[in-house]
Structure 1
Amino acid sequence: MTSEDGLYRQFVEASADCMKELDRHGVIRFIAGMGSSALTSEEPERLIGTRWVDLWPPEAHAMVTRVLDRALSGERVDFVAPRPSATGASRWWEVMVAGVVADDRLDHLVVISRDVTERVELQAAIESINELLQERLNETVARSATASSRYGSLLERFESEHGARRDAENRLAGVSEQLAMATHARDLAEASARQAQKQQAVGQLVSGIAHDFNNMLQTVIVSLSGLEDDAADLLPRHRRMLTYAMEGARHATALTRRLLAFARNHPYQAEPVDIGVLVEGFADFARHALGGRVGIEVLRQPAPLPALLDRQGLEQALMNVCLNARDAMEGFGTVVIEVGERRGDPVSASAMRDSETPRQVFITVADTGGGMSEEVRHRLFEPYFTTKPGGSGLGLAQVYGTVAQAGGGVEIESDAGIGTRIRLVFPHYAGPLESGG
């Protein structure tokens, strides 16, 4: 197994999501990710061969069956539902189900599940507090109106009796005190909600830092891996230093996994992005990661090329595609990245979430390797399918998941002896772009 493949496997296994592949009958063929540990007290791999619908409680079977039927018809389906965890406690899951098209037919399904229990419980708590405060406020207002009415009647009836007047005034004072208590309770509830939001923001910040650190760590490991390939040419002292560096990189990988476990997940953060600007910035980074014998050439249309997607996820997907291109060229040659816009066509639209979108933006990564056979091309995005000795087969599966999550599709063109072109296609975003793309 190469260092890059090991890193891909670590990336998927460190994910807080639960990633599954189902066949056309809804049977699990692949499962990975830290979220999968919530499904069973045993090894998650033991769930392979199990029907996905059987992982849900009986009352949810009809709903899950409808979801599978919609996904098999080519629709991307998103839903949120509860299910018991391995410990018996009920957890809420945000689930995305999408089909994978191969040879003009739907070949299998990809399921990405994310634990959102804390978010659901926080929303329910806030709604419960608001309802309670509204009830208390209504009761207080009603008592206040009643007390005011009684006070008026007492003044008319016992105008000359100071004792009755003092009694009415005391009742009004009690109502005012109750109003003040209700206001104080509402302020405390709002402060509690703000504190919960701050804690959620801290978790998101830690998750973002962990993912950025993971991207930088990838460059370090790729560079050290290149040195390991030429370790025989190094002095003994330098080989020891290289060993120390690789050990430090492994410790850093473990640290990333702990940070992700603490933050629980990295939420999908879609934002308007000019993919032309993004690819140019990515190319500067990738030239160092791919090694000195592999060049990168960027061909970009001058106009803005906006898409709504997760910037970090797209950069990781591009790195996976470029590393595969480098391996296909055996570490020598030029990777050409073309960025542009086109009108939608039936082939790409069938794999995209919004088939009505006429305009599309795309990123094409082309290499000059040996190409691939028809069989390999049809299985390219299957998790753990690889043609490399010891490879993990997870890199391109992550690419497909990232593009599908943004509502896009992936196209492959490969000619034996000429090379391969992998095209990531996204719906054109019609909204405004912030400054900087």
Structure 2
Amino acid sequence: MSEGEGRYRQFAEASADCMKELDRDGVIRFVAGLGCMALVPEGPERLVGVRWLDLWPPEARDMVARVLDRAAAGERVDFVSPRQTSQGTSRWWEVMVAPVVAGDALDHFIVISRDVTERVELQAALESINELLQERLNETVARSASATTQYGTLLERLESEHGARRDAENRLASITEQLEMASRARELAEASAHQAQKQQAVGQLVSGIAHDFNNMLQTVIVSLSGLQDEADDLTVHQRRMLTYAVEGARHATALTRRLLAFARNQPSRPEPIDLGDLVESFADFARHGMGGRVGIEVLRQPGMLPIWVDRHSIEQALMNVCLNARDAMGNMGSIVIQVGDRLTDDALADSLRERVPARQVFVCIADTGGGMSDEVRERLFEPYFTTKQGGSGLGLAQVYGTVAQAGGGVEIESDAGIGTRIRLVFPRYAGALTSAV
């Protein structure tokens, strides 16, 4: 025996398993291991030359024969089976059968058997305990079924009461919200009435001053006309000064008529108007109202720009926009008013319920102020919304209402640090202009 074979035999004999080597016919030709003592206490050597199949009880031999056939085909097979010892007691064995191939042919089998009786018995005991626990659990569940039903009924009643309370709280919150809205509406109505009274008082004051001023102007104009009748007796310089005075008096008369128009509280009277003429005439009046440090420039597209509007409402809307532009520039800067026409804007057409003409007339008021934030731009035309100290918040709301009443819309463009452009857009009037501005 070589040194390697001797060391292998020592390992096999010291193993707690029963290790066997079978030839191709299943005959034991080597056996070792302490586990074999349960089968042959007198010594495992007595098993050499015995067929392994004969060591199994008759009822297990068919199964063991199939295991050897599978191993002979090259498969490693593991199984667990009971087997009697030499004392007649039954033990459970975990068996591994592996083929050993030499030169592409089966040479012998290696069989390792391990006594797992304690593990099997422990597993059986655990299963028995689980069955007992399951039975007791079923009994407990059965006993608690009635209590569970009663508890479920109680929960349903509590949930119903909670739902009713939640509905009552929601109704109370809704009523509270409606009361707050009503209170706010009343405050707005009172403020609106107060503002209307102030505007009426201002209108009466402006109207009275304008009438008195107009009467004085008529005296001046009559006196200047008398001088014009005797212009031949004047020097060239005096005649030139007289001409300036007459023109200034007539211009002052036109401004007075504008003031009277703004002060009147009259219903809307739409008529066909050339927007370009209206804006140019309005600009002369607005330059005096803006102050000397705010300039107004009008850029008018050539040709007729007819719209169907109330002249005085549009003039007041333009004045409101220009006053806001002046305030945005800090009473110093330049306002550019551009007038022209364009094809219908699809976005604006979609926002209007009525069908709009294919072309539109617009007036764009651009300032050089600081621009507006997105939040201010979204709320710009809300009634009573204002960013100015002491402002009423009604000026731009009036602008929106006037333009919408004429079938148009308002567009806003604002860039931080550059300025704001407010464009009033109207349907182009298709009829003839029968009245002059």
TM-score range, shorter chain: 0.3 to 0.5
| Greater relative CO (CA pairs within 8 A, separation 6+) | 1
Rg (Cα) greater in structure: 2
TM-score (norm 2): 0.41
TM-score (norm 1): 0.41
